[in-house]
């Protein structure tokens, strides 16, 4: 009688098994000059799709103006909400990432489609937006507490507030406020370096995307710290021009973030 027992397949190699079993994509190491290339690529994307890109920049500028005019007599709320919008910015920039993705793959860029790009991975984007919203709310509370500690006798007007914090006797408030804000900004930056583009491009879940983002920062601390500094510089310039600079700064940073993802994770 012939033995028909099938011959077992050879076991997969250790590397192949690990790749197949792990949901986490490999993270590449990049050189310190990479952030400058990302900004150049972001500028090219802005020029390639100016109408759609500037729409998002205008939306951020409009939010800044709205916060300023509504809370111009309450600098503690102006500061907290303005910084809070930046904390949820990675989610709001999803459309910009989609524009860069479409340009990279040769697809037509249509503004309406980019505005709903998050629907392709609704569960992951919803959870990530919830996480950023919680961080923003905690930051807003911490911001107000910091103001209360240093201005217990009452808040001045916005113009008076700017004059007071510029004086040396209030530098303790400035340093404390920046330190508290820096903690929240670092958390959001670590979670969002590549996470939103990763969820958009690969349909990755929120946890995998966030952990991959933290891994990317751990593998490339110097380039990504430089990238964070460039983001602060560009967005700060946008604030310093009464939010007008955000018209260009936000699209360039958003597009550049997509290219950061493509360099660090991208298609392996």
Average pLDDT over residues 147-169: 62
6-40 confidence digits (pLDDT tens): 445 455 544 444 445 678 899 999 999 999 999 99
- Residue 13, classed as helix, strand or coil, is coil
> For the chain, which residues make up each domain, given as ranges?
52-264
Does residue 106 have a pLDDT over 90?
A: yes
Instruction: Look at 18-22, 200-204, 222-226 and tell me which has the smallest mean pLDDT.
Output: 18-22
Neighbouring residues of 85: CB distance < 8 A, sequence distance ≥ 6: 60, 63, 64, 67, 92, 136
How confident is residue 2, by pLDDT bands cut at 50, 70 and 90? very low
How confident is residue 1, by pLDDT bands cut at 50, 70 and 90? very low
How confident is residue 100, by pLDDT bands cut at 50, 70 and 90? very high
Residue from 164, 7, 162, 1 nearest 72 by CA: 162
33-83 confidence digits (pLDDT tens): 999 999 999 999 999 999 999 999 999 999 888 888 877 777 767 777 777
How confident is residue 171, by pLDDT bands cut at 50, 70 and 90? confident
Does residue 189 have a pLDDT over 80?
A: yes
Neighbouring residues of 234: CB distance < 8 A, sequence distance ≥ 6: 245, 249, 252, 253
- Residue 73, classed as helix, strand or coil, is coil
Residue from 97, 91, 121 nearest 109 by CA: 97
pLDDT of residue 150: 75
Q: How far is CA 38 from CA 15, 84, 103, 149, 228, in A?
A: 31, 25, 15, 40, 12
End-to-end C-alpha distance for the chain, whole angstroms: 49
């Amino acid at each position: 009688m012939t033995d028909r027992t099938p011959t077992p397949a050879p076991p997969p190699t250790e590397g192949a098994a690990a790749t197949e079993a792990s949901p986490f994509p490999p993270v590449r190491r990049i050189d310190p000059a990479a952030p400058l290339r990302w900004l150049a690529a972001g500028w090219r994307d802005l020029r390639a799709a100016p109408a759609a890109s500037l729409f998002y920049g205008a939306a951020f500028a409009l939010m800044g103006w709205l916060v300023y005019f509504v809370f111009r007599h309450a600098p503690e709320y102006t500061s907290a909400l303005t910084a809070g919008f930046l904390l949820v910015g990675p989610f709001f920039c999803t459309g910009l990432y989609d524009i860069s993705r479409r340009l990279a793959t040769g697809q037509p860029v249509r503004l309406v489609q980019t505005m709903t790009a998050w629907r392709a991975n609704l569960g992951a984007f919803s959870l990530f937006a919830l996480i950023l919203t919680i961080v923003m709310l905690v930051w807003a509370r911490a911001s107000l507490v910091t103001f209360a500690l240093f201005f217990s006798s009452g808040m001045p007007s916005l113009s008076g507030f700017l004059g007071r914090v510029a004086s040396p006797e209030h530098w303790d408030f400035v340093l404390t406020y920046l330190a508290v804000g820096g903690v929240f900004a670092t958390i959001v930056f670590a979670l969002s370096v590549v996470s939103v583009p990763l969820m958009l491009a690969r349909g990755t879940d929120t946890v995998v995307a966030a952990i991959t983002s933290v891994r990317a920062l751990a593998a490339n601390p110097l380039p990504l710290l430089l990238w964070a500094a460039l983001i602060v510089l560009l967005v700060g310039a946008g604030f310093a021009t009464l939010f007008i600079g955000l018209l260009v700064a936000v699209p360039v940073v958003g597009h550049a973030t997509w290219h950061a993802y493509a360099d660090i994770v991208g298609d392996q």
